Chain A
Amino acid sequence: MQPLLLLTLLLLSVGAYHLGRKRAFAVAGGQIRNLHSLPGFYGFYAALWCGLPALAVLALWAIAQPGILVNWVVAGLPPELQNLPPDRLNLVVNDLKNLVSGNFVSSASDPVMVEAANRYRQLRAIGNAALWVAVLSFAIGGIAYAWRAISPALRARNRVEGIINLFLIASSTVAIFTTIGIVLSVVFESLLFFRQVPVSEFLFGLQWSPQTALRADQVGSSGAFGAAPLFAGTLLISGIAMLVAVPIGLMSALYLSEYATPKFRAFAKPALEILAGIPTVVYGFFAALTVAPLIREIGAAVGLHVASESALAAGLVMGIMIIPFVSSLSDDVINAVPQSMRDGSYALGATKSETITRVLLPAALPGIVGSILLAVSRAIGETMIVVMAAGLSANLTANPLEAVTTVTVQIVTLLTGDQEFDSPKTLAAFALGLVLFAVTLILNIIALRVVRKYREQYE
């Protein structure tokens, strides 16, 4: 890229803005009300004409130049090099590029290559000079065009706002296209996986032992890709987390919104939300180093065998992490119930607790359900705590004192380290990701719908 050129272009655009403004004043005879738009819009109009076409030229040039240069240089190589098969030729070109950027290459001593590299450098210098000329002439041409176009009747505001509109659309689609791209890549990799392992075995198989043989006669070569233990483990840990987060979160929301003094609320609500800001890896070692041993010791004291890495430890800590999701959102929806509902209830002689249980909670219920569903999808997608506290062994069990593993943890272990990218082992990670994505997407859709329904209620 050409930082200096970009900077020049930016300065030119700023200049164009002032020129445009001045020109607008001039054509209006100094009276702003003679103009269709405010003078600033004429300035922007000129600046956009200066900057945008020139930028487009710059971008096209940057994309096209290397290819064209390589072609020219290759055309100048001796015939015996030119007539190499395409993959060999590619190697030569790579060598050439390395030589140009001054890296050490084996062919450095080859006079043909050195000459070619010099030719490349020369051409590139000419190209860059031409680029400056082209870009600057487009920029100045743009200014000239705008200068001529500016007249009191020119609808500069509409034009400028149209361009801004385009920028906004482009920005908003970035996220959408990224999502689509991610989904597509996950789907295609999953399809590759399902070609090797049937869907039914993946979804309902009870054995999870993701390994593939390097050689046919290898020991333990038979991999098993039944993900049911992972789904069960995910459910178990998320379930424990929700058992912790929902009651505590809901009750703290009720306290904050209905009972707490404004002073306490102003302190407690942000304090609770800090919980959401703690990195999950910190929760992870809190779970692994503090909570898990504690649970094991308590278990030993009452004569229970507890694994060092238990679903309970991971679930408890994850539950605490999720509390702010439930409490903060629930607090918001309870607060959103109109004061007139409370007044109406109190005026009938209802106590505070009757008002809460019979009016506020039913009115806020859809919103509370929405917040819980969002928390569930957060729990299902959580990885770090589980990696550190719940273990890696894919046990199919409902006992929270045993070690289990989850979908997210397995994705992490499948993709860490050196892997072949076409073995079922790696591809299984994409299939797991797809399932995870589908589940959280469905939960989010339900949550959003429920919340939306709630919003309509008082309008």
Chain B
Amino acid sequence: MSTTAIDTQVALNGALNRNAPLRQSAGVQVTDYENRQTVGKITVDNPKMVCREVNVHYGQKHAIKNVSLDIGANEVIAFIGPSGCGKSTFLRCLNRMNDTIPTARVTGQIKLDDDDIHAKEIDVVQLRARVGMVFQKPNPFPKSIYENVAYGPRIHGMVNTKAELDDLVRESLERAGLIKEVEKRMLEPGTSLSGGQQQRLCIARAIAVNPEVILMDEPCSALDPIATAKIEELIDELRENYTIVIVTHSMQQAARVSQRTAYFHLGDLIEIGDTDQIFTNPRHKLTEDYITGRFG
């Protein structure tokens, strides 16, 4: 009992004991690293993406430390953790968005299906067409609703005729659950929509290029509860066709939409497992502290 109290204190002070005792044990897989463990099973049976020993440095800052995990096909996996824990940074590794930050350096192996995304023969443009992304703040281009969705198919030469493009735009908007609201106003600027509609427009824009994986970086943090509910519903539907990785600050949201959850802390992957298990029965002290609201 006294040990637990001390550990909590240490964790709260930020000087974290990465080898804090597991709450309980039998049959739990633990991956050991130099100075910490990842609790839980990092592998899945049919992985879509496989990440091994991923490290990210921003200049001097070591933002992601030796993170390994699998992302299963057609699953929704949630990354949770306190601010600055590296979950967004890790997400941006998956479609190499960190390439746009001059000081960022990514090492380790990340595979999409069987392709190493850092391999020379992989074109980052192709990769991003396969791994789409939706951002924290809705960022429609200052163009019409139609043009926002048509942007991706156009630059990738996915359609040959205007009619095909029309169909593709309609279909994408339909999948994003936005078609009814914008059918009559396709030529109005995307910025004229409400926040929630803009975010669904961004999702439609992402799925228009027919990606295999969709990365969502806190997609609901700028939205009201009703718009959030719509997006969450949409994520659940999209799972049928896509693999989705979502970063969220809302633990309820992670619990509602995801099948697996990964808990990050100061650049370390602390615990990963089925969402049900993580939220009902966290095995690592830090995970438990975070989801019970003791810090974060």
Contacts and interface: CB of A to CB of B under 8 A. Distances in A.
Bound together: yes
Interface of A: 261-262, 338, 340-351, 354, 358-359, 362-363, 457-458
B148 to A, nearest CB: 9
Interface residues of B, number: 27
A348 B139 contact: no
Interface string B187-214: 0000100000000001001100100000
Interface in B72-113: 95, 97, 100, 102
Interface string B246-288: 0000000000000000000000000000000000000000000
Closest 10 CB pairs of A and B: A349-B129, A347-B133, A340-B139, A349-B128, A348-B152, A344-B139, A349-B125, A363-B142, A354-B155, A350-B155
B143 to A, nearest CB: 7
A359 B148 CA distance: 10
A84 B191 CA distance: 81
A346 B202 contact: no
Given A348-B152, A348-B206, A359 B128 contact: no
Contacts of A457: 142, 191
Contacts of A348: 128-129, 132, 151-152, 155, 205-206, 209
A344 B208 CA distance: 13
15 contacts: A340-B137, A340-B139, A341-B141, A343-B135, A343-B139, A344-B139, A344-B141, A347-B95, A349-B156, A350-B125, A350-B155, A359-B151, A363-B142, A458-B142, A458-B191
Given A262-B102, A346-B128, A349-B125, A341 B139 contact: yes
B126 interface: yes
A458 B132 CA distance: 24
Contacts of B206: 347-348
Given A348-B209, A457-B191, A362 B142 contact: yes
A363 B141 contact: yes
Given A343-B97, A346-B97, A347-B95, 16 more contacts: A261-B102, A343-B133, A346-B100, A347-B133, A347-B135, A348-B129, A348-B152, A348-B206, A348-B209, A349-B128, A349-B152, A349-B209, A350-B155, A359-B151, A363-B141, A457-B142
A261 B129 CA distance: 27
Contact of B143 (A262, A350, A362, A458): A362
Q: Which of the listed residues B127, B132, B139, B205 has the most CB atoms from chain A within 10 Å of its own CB?
A: B139
Contacts of B209: 348-349
A255 B160 CA distance: 33
A392 B132 CA distance: 63
Best-surrounded residue of A261, A341, A347, A358 (most CB of chain B within 10 A): A347
Contacts of B126: 349
Contacts of A345: 141, 151
A266 to B, nearest CB: 14
B47 to A, nearest CB: 22
Interface in B129-168: 129, 132-133, 135, 137, 139-143, 151-152, 155-156
- Chain A CB count within 10 A is highest, among B102, B128, B206, for B128
A194 to B, nearest CB: 47
Nearest to B129: A349
B149 to A, nearest CB: 10
A147 to B, nearest CB: 58
Given A346-B97, A348-B205, A340 B135 contact: yes
Interface of B: 95, 97, 100, 102, 125-129, 132-133, 135, 137, 139-143, 151-152, 155-156, 191, 202, 205-206, 209
Given A347-B132, A348-B152, A349-B155, A342 B100 contact: yes
Nearest to B130: A349
Nearest to B127: A349
Contacts of B129: 348-349
Given A343-B97, A344-B202, A351 B139 contact: no
Nearest to A338: B139
A339 to B, nearest CB: 9
A347 B202 CA distance: 11
A62 B159 CA distance: 84
Contacts of B135: 340, 343-344, 347
A18 B126 CA distance: 74
Q: Which of B129, B142, B155 is most buried by chain A, counting CB atoms within 10 A of its CB?
A: B142
Given A347-B133, A348-B128, A358 B95 contact: no
A261 B209 CA distance: 31
A379 B151 CA distance: 38
B195 to A, nearest CB: 14
Nearest to B142: A363
A351 B155 CA distance: 9
A303 B115 CA distance: 63
B92 to A, nearest CB: 9
A250 to B, nearest CB: 19
B251 to A, nearest CB: 26
B155 A358 contact: yes
B104 to A, nearest CB: 13
A189 B188 CA distance: 51
B58 to A, nearest CB: 15
A349 B133 CA distance: 10
A340 B142 CA distance: 12
B139 A358 contact: no
Contact of B100 (A338, A343, A349): A343
Nearest to A359: B141
Contacts of B133: 343, 347
Contacts of A359: 141, 151
Contacts of A341: 139, 141-142
A338 B191 CA distance: 14
Contacts of A351: 125, 155
A346 B96 CA distance: 10
A189 to B, nearest CB: 47
Contacts of B152: 348-350
A51 to B, nearest CB: 54
A318 B129 CA distance: 46
Contacts of A347: 95, 97, 128, 132-133, 135, 206
A362 to B, nearest CB: 7
Nearest to B136: A340
B210 to A, nearest CB: 11
Contacts of B202: 344
Contacts of B140: 344
B13 to A, nearest CB: 35
Contacts of B125: 349-351
A338 to B, nearest CB: 7
A351 B202 CA distance: 18
Contacts of B151: 345, 348, 350, 358-359
B123 to A, nearest CB: 9
